[in-house]
Amino acid sequence: MILRTLVVLLWSSALLTAAPQADSTFSDSTLAERPPAERAASIIGQHTRLVMSSKDLLQSMAWWTRMGFTPRKLAGERADSAITLSDGQVTITLVSASQPSPIIAYRCANLSRLKEQLDSLLIGVNVDLQGPTYRELRFRSPGGVHVAARLAAIEPDIAPTKEPNPLCGELKEYSTSVASVTQEKQWWADLGFAPTKQATKPYPFVNMADKACEIGIHQDRDIANMALTYFMPDMEVRIERLKNAGMKPIEEIPTSDKRIANAIFQSPDGQLVFLFETPK
């Protein structure tokens, strides 16, 4: 069960976005937010989508649609085994297969080279073969974030429109909880991700990003799986609109003046979505 006090601290970390704190725990003394176009690409390739396991594809599709996502058809996709949706900022593919969830999917032009790089970093890799070459590489961060790199010839070239989700607002990060921010940060740095913000108060956290993917790494928070985290100045209104449409949050987090401007929603398959008010 998610503890309200812990989630409030997660939300509070957004207060530090504009002016990240220096800290001896990290090597970076100052950090400035950089737009995705100015960020370096990771060695993995091009981030395309999130892949999520679902027990009931139609039920899950209906839930995500009510959260502002729109179904989109991918070439070769069969509706009885996979359904893809997008909110403009992130594309998700629901699959009926039993597998880790969610998985951050990438499109990679040279899987053989990537495999060599991952081996040199001592990162354990599971592989799928296609003839004499690799079809997919799967690996996991120390904190449990699952990543899959697929051959560019079979992974669709999906680019976000960057338009905010009409209901949830602006997607800021994929949030995850770890025992050690330092260890997780180094793992992502080895893959070519760079820090965009970090601090030790109200608790240790760091955001690591490449051109299209930003991971919010939060130490010792109660986040059961990697969450999609949205921020908007008018989130109170957006949450009320979702509730009026029949979407029930699993937790509401009042502000200091007792407004419900922060809430947590959970998909039928357990995927968490955090909606937080942008600090004024």
Evaluate whether 4-38+162-277 and 46-151 have a shared fold: yes
CA distance 62 to 65: 5
Considering the segment(s) 46-151 as one domain, its CATH architecture is Roll (3.10)
**Among positive and negative, which fits the CA dihedral 220, 225, 226, 231?**
negative
Query: What per-residue confidence (pLDDT) applies to 166?
Result: 96
241's CB contacts (< 8 A; 6+ apart) are 167
Mean pLDDT, all residues of the chain: 87
Query: What per-residue confidence (pLDDT) applies to 73?
Result: 87
Query: What per-residue confidence (pLDDT) applies to 34?
Result: 58
Query: 104 pairs with which residues across the strands?
Result: 50, 147
CATH class for the domain made up of 4-38+162-277: alpha beta
The candidate with the shortest Cα–Cα distance to 214, out of 92, 100, 51, 47, is: 47
Along the chain (280 residues), what's the average pLDDT of each consecutive run of 10 residues?
Answer: 47 43 38 60 95 96 98 85 95 93 97 97 95 93 97 91 92 95 96 93 92 93 90 97 97 92 96 92
Query: What per-residue confidence (pLDDT) applies to 169?
Result: 97
Query: What per-residue confidence (pLDDT) applies to 44?
Result: 97
Domain spans in the chain, listed from the N-terminal domain onward = 4-38+162-277, 46-151
Query: What per-residue confidence (pLDDT) applies to 159?
Result: 82
